Amino acid sequence: MLTVFDSEIAVTAGTVLLVLGGWAVSLCLHEFGHAMVAYKGGDFEVRDKGYLTLDIRRYTDPVLSLVLPLLLLAFGGIPLPGGAVWINHYALRSRRVESWVSLAGPLSNLVLGLLLALSVVLFGPPLPLAAALSYLALLQVLAFTLNILPIPGLDGWGAIEPWLPPNVRAFGAKARPWAPLALFAVLIGLPALARPFFDLAYWVFGLVGGDAVLAYFGQSTFLFWR
């Protein structure tokens, strides 16, 4: 006979597995989006590298794909798509294609957030499942909002970089290793400065039909150690 405590453990475990599993799938789709647009735009090497297979092993890096994203998600609630696909930009047909290659990843997160939020609205799952799906949807929207920022190292910068003067692009190349880390430090450590970002993300979340209250319950269950 299940006790209330056993039921809570089952809900927590189910939420953690669903969110982590869903995040792994979204990681693959994010990187697949980059690779597919690059392939259509002239970089046929992405097929040989296995980026069109949706095999998560092709997109992962031990630190960038596992350690750093999990730490940011656990301690700051910041979802970082940690995979990577290496694009041969010289093979792409135009600057417009380069921009769309960068935008394809964040847009995949936005579409996933929309689909997850709609699944809660349309199918009305039980509360624990609705909360977990809502939190996963919020993570997708946060990933979209984060990655679309025009900061070196993020996809938003990659979208505008082809159109920038050479000196600005050179600055971006130098800033690429540390600029995202500085941003994450601000988002996690300086709540007052981070508020506009989260306000924007929750506004987008509402636009796609997300329920902030359900997402909050899902987050509380997922981050049970906090």
Catalytic center residues = 31
Distance, in Å, from the CA atom of 159 to the CA atom of 5, rounded to the nearest integer, reads: 49
Residue among 101, 204, 109 at smallest CA distance from 157? 101
Distance, in Å, from the CA atom of 69 to the CA atom of 26, rounded to the nearest integer, reads: 13
Which 3 state secondary structure label does DSSP give 142? helix
Question: Do the Cβ atoms of 11 and 128 come closer than 8 Å?
Answer: yes
Residue among 205, 191, 197 at smallest CA distance from 135? 205
**HSE toward the beta carbon, residue 40, CA cutoff 13 A:** 11
Residue among 165, 119, 162 at smallest CA distance from 18? 119
Phi-psi region for residue 43, left (φ > 0), alpha (ψ -120 to 50) or beta?
Answer: beta
